[in-house]
Amino acid sequence: VNGKIQIPVVVNVLYRTTAENISLTQIQSQIDVLNQDYNATNSDYNQVPAIFSGVKANVGISFVLDQVIRKSTTKTSWGTRDAMKKANQGGLAPTSPTTKLNMWVCTIGGGILGYAQFPGGSSATDGVVIDSKYFGLSGTANYPYNLGRTATHEVGHWMNLRHIWGDATCGSDLVADTPQHNTANYGVPTYPHYSTCTGTPIEMTMNYMDYTDDRGMYMFTAGQKARMDAIFAAGGARNSFAQ
Q: Which residues are identified as catalytic?
A: 154
Among 56, 149, 227, 238, binds ligand ARG (CB under 6 A): 149
User: Choosing among ligand ARG, Ca ion, none, which partner's interface includes residue 203 (Cβ < 5 to 8 Å by kind)?
Assistant: none
DSSP 97-135: TTTSEEEEEE---TT--EEEPPTTS-GGG-SEEEEGGGS
Binding mask 157-176 for Ca ion (x = CB under 5 A): ----------------x-x-
User: Choosing among Ca ion, ligand ARG, none, which partner's interface includes residue 173 (Cβ < 5 to 8 Å by kind)?
Assistant: Ca ion
Q: Does 153 bind ligand ARG (CB under 6 A)?
A: yes
**Binding to ligand ARG, residues 105-134 (CB under 6 A):** 113-115
CA distance 129 to 84: 9
Q: Which is nearer to Ca ion, 12 or 178 (CB)?
A: 178
Distance of CA 56 to CAs 35, 69, 166, 225, Å? Answer: 16, 35, 19, 10
- Eight-state DSSP code of residue 213: -
User: Choosing among Ca ion, ligand ARG, none, which partner's interface includes residue 178 (Cβ < 5 to 8 Å by kind)?
Assistant: Ca ion
3-class secondary structure, 172: coil
Query: Residue 28 class from Cβ within 10 Å (0-12 exposed, 13-18 middle, 19+ buried)?
Result: middle
Using Cβ positions, the residue closest to Ca ion within the complex turns out to be: 178
Binding mask 111-130 for Ca ion (x = CB under 5 A): --------------------
**φ, ψ for residue 154 (rounded to 5)?**
-65, -40
Amino acid sitting at position 101: L
DSSP 37-58: HTTT--TTGGGS-GGGTTTEE-
The distance of closest approach from Cβ of residue 104 to ligand ARG in the complex, given in angstroms and rounded to an integer, is 14
Q: Which is nearer to ligand ARG, 9 or 242 (CB)?
A: 9
**Binding to ligand ARG, residues 208-227 (CB under 6 A):** 211-214, 217
Q: Which is nearer to ligand ARG, 153 or 225 (CB)?
A: 153
Query: Residue 101 class from Cβ within 10 Å (0-12 exposed, 13-18 middle, 19+ buried)?
Result: buried
Binding residues for ligand ARG (CB under 6 A) = 113-115, 145, 149-150, 153-154, 211-214, 217
Interface residue list for Ca ion (CB under 5 A)? 173, 175, 178
